[in-house]
Amino acid sequence: MAFSLFNLEGKLAVVTGSSQGIGLALATGLAEHGAAVVINGRNAEKVEAAVEDLKKAGHKAHASAFDVTDADAVKVGIDGIEAEIGPIDILINNAGMQFRAPLEDFPVDKWQQLLDTNISSVFYAGQAVARHMIARGRGKIINIASVQSELARPSIAPYTATKGAVRNLTRGMATDWAKYGLQINAIAPGYFKTPLNQALVDNPEFSAWLEKRTPAGRWGDVEELVGAAVFLAGDASSFVNGQVLHIDGGMTASV
From 124, 159, 180, 191, active-site residue: 159
Strands of the 182-189 sheet, one edge to the other: 61-65, 36-41, 12-15, 90-93, 139-144, 182-189, 244-247
**159 has catalytic annotation:** yes
How far is residue 239's CA from residue 181's CA, in Å, rounded to a whole number? 10
Cα distance between residue 36 and residue 46, in whole Å: 18
Instruction: Work out whether the CA dihedral 107, 68, 32, 248 comes out positive or negative.
Output: positive
Catalytic residues: 159
